[in-house]
């Protein structure tokens, strides 16, 4: 993580930025209305989009802005870009270029050549410069054969590639990007990531708005989280990612025990509560991959029970059991419980689950193979495994990869 | 967890360049020029892209109007007696006035919606907002230049020989251009708040067409209008521009605008209107520019 020295000026200084949109309750937008009702007061509602935002972006930093829809992150970017005016103060050091959206100003009726030049001019290049960069843009977009094709005849993938290539052609020190990474096929995405890595290595400052926590964690040195126009956190991207997921999925829900959630057993004991905790022992609605997580099942015994078995089926959204953990395999004796007693059974395992939503089913059974059911819990409780780089499997296991050449030498790139 | 108290900035030099919100002009004139010119050029290209006759179409409209009016007034209406002084040049003068009026009408009517139509750019890209109406005016200037060539050919064909007074033309066109630019700024800014400007402006342009020496020469108008109405007529910058164009470009048989309208002192109001329109247009647009992206 590059740290700029104290004397080096920040790439962006943002102080006390407030932004309030005033929305008239009914729209009067004709001259006729104004002339007929000159004294009519239109009620206006003000809607604060940003409140007292102050932060610095250091030179050479890859800075992420995360937040839910409507949290103000795009508004903030537009304020920095100078598209919206604010009553705060913003300074920049270095040439800045803004891509609030890919492909703005591209004209479907024109060929790639004209579009590239036109867009370059829009970004502040001189026509000469824009023409000079045309070749490199087309090469990056891999559209050499289609330079004279009108954009309306482009496939959407070609369109996106061109738009992205145009947007990175501008030789700026500070780049503002809004959700631009979610484009293209996997190969092109990789190319984009390479570009970002390269920019980062060359010391460009990038401010990047996203709600993709995977990208945020992968690229950003620092990040901030916005919620309802307020900065709730600034700093470690990992933290931002966690808090973002918390905001999205609500705070630690517990499975309320309800009658519908039970059944199948003889009712001599009941599963009263199920929850999951992360490594730190905190109840979380969303759990990151590859951590150790613990699933707890609280049981209330109505009669004396010896050596009950507890099995947990973790079901995915298609109600398929992806992971099953049980006492039946290795633990014949699980203890004797008295009437009226409560006990909590805990299962800690490596979270190899692929990202998605899961709901656990808990089978509580008499001693034995777990078929003689005391109770079956299938409550409303579910939890989310977060992560964005899913490869497509049901589970995601840690893996070591190696390759050996035919001459017996180990390929060094694959051995970390 | 949250940000530690950030130092309050004291001097601008240390912190870099302050970012201001969107404005009509950003002071970067080169960028302003390149953008306006290239948007106009692109629109121009788009207009004719793929049509075989291309640019010719741009000439057809004023020529058609000219044809209709010419036939009507010389063969049927006899409003302009063909026996009057300089009447052999009626055709050239009519065409010239039509071309000037077409420029006026296209640039003003075309800019009414322009900011709203470029909403995507306004909301997503930081650039001097004034580029948008100016590119419309520039676009119609290309048309004007093209049409003026036709006027020139027609003028020469009707027997006019190049005159010293042609040097006045840039000044006449400048007055028209400044007036059109000012009006465009005013209209495009007003349309953001008042969406009924568009039909209103269409009507205004109809009135302007008849209230300028396009079909009917100033001399004829003078004979028929009351003094009050004539005063109003003479206030119109377009009347002055067209009258002077007819005089300077085609024939001195038609009196110059100051002569026809009673001396140079009568030029103060039309020229004043042009200047005031331009200043007011810029002022209003400049006021609206920072908020456009939010209002749209």
| pLDDT, averaged in runs of 10, over chain B (296 residues) | 52 70 81 91 78 72 84 69 60 91 95 90 88 94 91 90 93 96 96 90 94 86 88 92 93 87 89 97 93 83
DSSP-based helix, strand, coil % in chain A, nearest 5:
25, 35, 40
Is residue A220 within 8 A of residue A235, CB to CB? The reply is: no
CB contact under 8 A, B193 and A78: no
3-class DSSP assignment, residue A377: strand
B51 touches A at CB < 8 Å: no
CB contact under 8 A, B1 and A233: yes
CB contact under 8 A, B196 and A32: yes
Q: Give dist(CA A413, CA A406) in Å, integer.
A: 16
Q: Phi then psi for A193, rounded to 5 degrees?
A: -60, -40
CB contact under 8 A, B17 and A100: no
Q: What is the number of CB-based contacts under 8 A between chain A and chain B?
A: 123
Start-to-end C-alpha separation, chain B: 38
Whether the pTM exceeds 0.80: the reply is: no
CB contact under 8 A, B2 and A234: yes
> Which chain A residues are Cβ-neighbours of B126 within 8 angstroms?
81-83, 98
B268 touches A at CB < 8 Å: no
CA–CA min distance A393, chain B (Å): 36
> Which chain B residues are Cβ-neighbours of A118 within 8 angstroms?
38-39, 42
Q: Give dist(CA B12, CA B2) in Å, integer.
A: 26
Interface of B with A in 111-150 (CB under 8 A): 120-121, 123-127
The predicted pLDDT at position A250 comes to 54
The predicted pLDDT at position A4 comes to 42
Supply the angle between the helices A112-122 and A127-141 in degrees, to the nearest 10: 120
B78 touches A at CB < 8 Å: no
Is residue B80 within 8 A of residue B220, CB to CB? The reply is: yes
Task: Using the Cα atoms of residue B170, residue B176, residue B182 and residue B188 in order, give the sign of their dihedral.
Answer: negative
Residue A166 is encoded by which pair of tokens? 């145009």
Ranges of beta strands (E only) in A41-92 are: 44-57, 62-67, 89-92
A98 touches B at CB < 8 Å: yes
Residues 6+ apart with CB under 8 A from A164: A102, A141, A180, A183, A184, A188, A192
pLDDT in tens, A312-345: 888 887 777 888 888 887 787 888 888 888 899 9
The conformation of residue A111, written as its DSSP 8-state character, comes to B
A2 touches B at CB < 8 Å: no
Is residue A77 within 8 A of residue B100, CB to CB? The reply is: no
Interface of A with B in 49-88 (CB under 8 A): 54-56, 78-86
- How many residues are given for chain A? 416
pLDDT in tens, A173-207: 888 888 765 556 667 777 777 887 788 788 889 89
A111 touches B at CB < 8 Å: no
B263 touches A at CB < 8 Å: no
CB contact under 8 A, B126 and A81: yes
Report residues of chain A scoring pLDDT below 50.
1-6, 251-260
The predicted pLDDT at position A180 comes to 62
Interface of A with B in 201-240 (CB under 8 A): 231-235
Best of B3, B8, B293 to disrupt the A interface (most A CBs within 10 Å) is B3
The predicted pLDDT at position B100 comes to 95
Q: Give dist(CA A257, CA A378) in Å, integer.
A: 10
CB contact under 8 A, B124 and A235: no
> Which chain B residues are Cβ-neighbours of A9 within 8 angstroms?
14-16
The predicted pLDDT at position A5 comes to 43
The predicted pLDDT at position A255 comes to 36
The predicted pLDDT at position B133 comes to 95
CB contact under 8 A, A54 and B3: yes
> Which chain B residues are Cβ-neighbours of A105 within 8 angstroms?
120-121, 124-125
CA–CA min distance B16, chain A (Å): 5
CA–CA min distance B114, chain A (Å): 14
């Amino acid at each position: 993580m590059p740290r700029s020295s104290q004397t080096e000026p920040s790439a962006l200084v943002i102080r006390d930025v407030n932004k309030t949109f005033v929305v008239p309750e009914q729209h009067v937008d004709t001259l006729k209305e104004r002339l007929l009702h000159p004294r009519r007061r239109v009620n206006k509602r003000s809607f604060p989009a940003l409140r007292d935002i102050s932060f610095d972006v250091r030179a050479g930093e890859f800075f992420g802005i995360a937040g839910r829809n409507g949290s103000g992150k795009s508004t903030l970017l537009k304020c920095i870009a100078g598209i919206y005016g604010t009553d705060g103060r913003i300074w920049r050091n270095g040439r800045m270029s803004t891509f609030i959206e890919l492909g703005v100003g591209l004209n479907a009726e024109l060929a790639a050549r004209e579009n590239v030049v036109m867009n370059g001019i829009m970004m502040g290049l001189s026509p000469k410069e824009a023409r000079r960069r045309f070749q490199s843009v087309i090469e990056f977009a891999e559209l050499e054969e289609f330079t004279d094709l009108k954009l309306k005849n482009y496939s959407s993938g070609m369109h996106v590639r061109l738009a992205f290539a145009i947007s990175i052609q501008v030789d700026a020190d500070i780049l503002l990007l809004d959700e631009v990474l979610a484009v293209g096929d996997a190969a092109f995405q990789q190319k984009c990531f390479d570009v970002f890595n390269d920019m980062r290595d060359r010391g460009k400052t990038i401010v990047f708005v996203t709600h993709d926590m995977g990208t945020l964690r992968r690229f950003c040195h620092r990040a901030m989280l916005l919620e309802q126009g307020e900065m709730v956190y600034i700093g470690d991207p990992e933290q931002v990612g966690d808090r973002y997921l918390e905001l999205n999925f609500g705070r630690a829900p517990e499975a309320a025990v309800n009658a519908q959630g039970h059944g199948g057993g003889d009712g001599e004991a009941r599963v009263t509560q199920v929850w999951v905790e992360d490594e730190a022992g905190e109840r979380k609605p969303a759990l990151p991959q590859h951590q150790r997580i613990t699933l707890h099942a609280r049981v209330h015994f109505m009669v004396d029970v010896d050596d009950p078995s507890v099995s947990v089926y973790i079901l995915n959204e298609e109600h398929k059991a992806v992971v099953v953990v049980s006492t039946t395999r290795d633990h014949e004796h699980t203890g004797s419980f008295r009437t009226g007693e409560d006990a909590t059974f805990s299962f800690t395992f490596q979270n190899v689950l692929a990202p998605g939503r899961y709901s656990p089913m808990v089978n509580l059974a008499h001693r034995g193979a777990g078929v003689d059911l005391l109770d079956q819990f299938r409550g409303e409780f579910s939890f989310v495994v977060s992560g964005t780089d899913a490869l497509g499997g049901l589970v995601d296991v840690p893996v070591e990869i190696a390759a050996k050449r035919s001459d017996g030498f180990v390929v060094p790139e694959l051995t970390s | 967890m949250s940000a530690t108290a950030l130092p309050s900035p004291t001097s601008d030099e240390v912190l870099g360049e302050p970012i201001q919100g969107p404005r009509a002009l950003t002071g970067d004139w080169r960028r302003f020029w390149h953008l306006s010119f290239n948007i106009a050029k692109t629109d121009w290209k788009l207009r004719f892209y793929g049509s075989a006759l291309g640019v010719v179409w741009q000439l057809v409209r004023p020529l058609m109007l000219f044809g209709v009016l010419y036939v009507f007034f010389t063969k049927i209406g006899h409003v302009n007696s063909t026996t009057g002084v300089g009447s052999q040049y009626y055709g050239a003068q009519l065409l010239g006035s039509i071309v000037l009026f077409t420029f006026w009408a296209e640039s003003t009517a075309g800019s009414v919606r322009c900011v709203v139509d470029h909403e995507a750019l306004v909301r997503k890209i930081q650039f001097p907002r004034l580029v948008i109406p100016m590119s419309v005016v520039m676009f119609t200037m290309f048309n004007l230049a093209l049409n003026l060539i036709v006027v020139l050919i027609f003028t020469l064909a009707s027997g006019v020989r190049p005159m010293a007074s042609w040097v006045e033309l840039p000044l006449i066109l400048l007055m028209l251009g400044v007036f059109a630019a000012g009006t465009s700024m005013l209209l495009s800014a007003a349309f953001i708040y008042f969406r009924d400007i568009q039909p209103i402006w269409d009507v205004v342009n109809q009135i302007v067409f008849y209230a300028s020496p396009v079909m009917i020469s100033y001399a004829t108008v003078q004979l028929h209008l009351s003094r009050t109405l004539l005063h109003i007529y003479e206030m119109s910058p377009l009347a002055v521009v067209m009258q002077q164009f007819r005089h300077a470009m085609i024939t001195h048989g038609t009196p110059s605008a100051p002569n026809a309208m009673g001396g140079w002192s009568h030029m103060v109001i039309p020229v004043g209107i042009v200047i005031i329109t331009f200043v007011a247009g810029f002022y209003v647009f400049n006021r609206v520019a920072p908020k456009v992206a939010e209002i749209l």
